[in-house]
Structure 1
């Protein structure tokens, strides 16, 4: 059935073509004859249903990319289904499968703007984070410990882009070109189950990137300052404390990660 759904379209009136497909699919002669004598349109309704569901999933998860690329996106959608096909049981995971397939191809396609893959990832991260576990509205963050890693809720991601994609209008019909500017966003789902975005400074992004990777807080701060060429002074410590307090108030930070003996 995969070839029927993902492969080139078959003509129900082309019995020879349908028969060849049935033979490739391992259907016996007797069963093939019975299928050819039946109403073949039912098979193609199934094809249209599956492909339509996948298309709708793409359109819902990244509407601006679908609208901006138009026929070019449809071309890559068909090519993805034909050459690879989705392998996930979860509809929301079909989008990153398509993006992983398209990423090396879009780089060499002059019809696809350079920012488009990052915009696609940016649009999809809302679906990804929105499906993750958020914090409880009444949770109380634990104390911080410079010697311990930080604990975040599941529903967080740190995204880096070469364009300020979060400043684009949400309207799929808008064609504004994003400003080219290195951008780091902390994406999280708050206790009210809303996906939110917080733009970070380069230093804040470097600290949180290390903290999310499991580094102890003190080491994350020190290492980030070194790579960013920033002196570790009272201003940095004060700014980091304010950032972490803000993330805790937003319901994204749980405090210090409990030790093995906790």
Structure 2
């Protein structure tokens, strides 16, 4: 029939052309420009493509929960589906680190406000807007000039929290402080003295009095930042 397209012959060719087109847009340095298309036109298509994606992601604020789920889906893709030996080994952790700020910024919980002084007898709990995190790579230091190829000897421990002005902050903490916060989180709430005594037992610290004093100071500073709640 005149004018009828042979789908069996045209689709593979069209599919192949699409793949060439997409490959060049993604990585023009390692993929040839599709035959019959001027480089100037491809540069324009590439700019339009990335501008559209950039504009879509830049508007990712909590207007609809569907937009906020996009980064979560991307994390799931990296963790369960992406399998490329050429990827940076820290890619998943870096993506998670970047996601945390957005997740905390739209979390529905209200920031805590501490009005009482923290003592050894105080009962405390971790703020729902404070997340202790531990990574194999120093994700907060990664940049074009620093791309580690292997995990660090010690884990990178961070606490990410949202303050009373709804601003998200990242703070590097020691593994000991990370364990302290994780312990409080596991127990939901603890008396300060009990928490520190348990840490002394876990670490077998040779100077319990020093550990108690230092631990109280650390918890006091965390309470001032509203990372832990004074009950």
TM range (shorter): 0.5 to 0.7
Choose the corresponding residue for 1:124, options 99, 110, 113.
99
Secondary structure of the corresponding residue to residue 136 of structure 2: strand
2:159 pairs with 1:186: yes
Task: Note the C-alpha offset of 1:149.
Answer: 5.1
Structure 1: tracts of 5 or more residues without a match: 1-13, 18-51, 62-87, 257-262
Q: Where does the alignment leave 5 or more consecutive residues of structure 2 unmatched?
A: 9-51
Equivalent-residue separation in structure 1 for 2:55 and 2:199 (angstroms): 42
Query: Rg larger in 1 or in 2?
Result: 2
Which 10-residue stretch deviates more, 140-149 or 206-215? 140-149
The Cα shift of 1:55 comes to: 8.4
Do the aligned partners of residues 209 and 233 (structure 1) sit closer, same or farther apart at CA in structure 2, a change above 3 Å counting? same
Partner of 1:56: 56
Q: Cα RMSD (Å) of the superposition?
A: 3.5
Partners of 1:91 and 1:205 lie apart in 2 by: 31
Instruction: Note if 1:248 corresponds to 2:218.
Output: no
* Partner Cα distance (2:160, 2:133) in 1: 7
Matched length: 176
Distance 1:96 1:232 in 2: 44
User: What TM-score do you get using the length of structure 1 for normalisation?
Assistant: 0.55
Aligned-pair distance for 1:113? Answer: 1.6
Q: What are the Cα deviations for residues 37-57 of structure 1, in whole angstroms up to 9, with x where unaligned? A: xxxxxxxxxxxxxxx679833
> In 2 relative to 1, CA 248–96 (structure 1 residues): closer, same or farther, beyond 3 Å?
same
Report if aligned partners of 2:126, 2:184 keep a CA contact under 8 Å in 1.
Answer: no
Cα drift, residue 161 of structure 1: 0.5
- Is structure 2 residue 130 aligned with structure 1 residue 156? yes
8 Å Cα contact 1:160-1:183 kept in structure 2: yes
SS in 1 for 2:205: coil
Contact 1:207 1:220 in 2 (8 A): yes
Distance 1:54 1:97, change over 3 A: farther
Distance (whole Å) between structure 2 residues aligned to residue 155 and residue 193 of structure 1 = 10
Contact persistence 2:125–2:190 (CA under 8 A): no
**Length-normalised TM-score, structure 2:** 0.62
> 1:129, 1:195 within 8 Å by CA — same for their partners in 2?
yes
- Confirm whether residue 165 of structure 1 aligns to residue 135 of structure 2: no
Paired position in structure 2 for 1:98: 74
1:33 counterpart residue number:
none
Shift of 1:94: 2.1
Match of 1:237 among 199, 212, 219: 212
